Amino acid sequence: MKDKIEVPNILINNKFGKEEFLKLYDEVLGNGKVEAKELFAFVTYCAEYGNYTQFELDIQKYGATIIAGNGTEIPNPKHAMKQSSFNAMMKAAMQIGLTPKSRIKSTTKAKMSKLDSIREFAKNG
């Protein structure tokens, strides 16, 4: 089924984001009945995941500090970029239910909805 998945253009050149999109597609969007905001949050999550991963690999490759143009050693700017991607990634992950806390909330809402249905049925018989 994965060969029929259309990867959004924003992820085409984002190796890790594209991989994450294909890996989680069925879990997040598999039923095909998603709102535009859910699709946007999922694509955002994947893009930021890819950016975060690439920034971490760059920091590992080039070091935690770099030499500025004036010869001064400074923290690698990729640290701030990685943190920004992490924050955006986590916000999107919560919106689509990929964090434990967001899964608990959605499960609780579903259980309460089911309980309300049972109560209504018992009340009206």
Q: What is the pLDDT of residues 75-117, one digit of tens each?
A: 999 999 999 999 999 999 998 888 776 656 555 555 555 555 6
- Does 19 have pLDDT greater than 60? yes
- If you average pLDDT over residues 28-39, what whole number do you get? 76
Torsion, Cα of 13, 100, 56, 24 (10° steps): -20
The whole-number pLDDT of residue 31 equals: 66
Q: What is the pTM of this model?
A: 0.74
Q: What is the pLDDT of residue 26?
A: 85
- Per-domain boundaries in the chain: 2-99
State the Cα–Cα distance between residues 102 and 15, nearest whole angstrom.
27
- Are the beta carbons of 88 and 46 closer than 8 angstroms? no
Going by C-alpha positions, the residue among 49, 42, 35 that lies closest to residue 5 is 42
CA angle 107, 109, 114 (to 5 degrees): 95
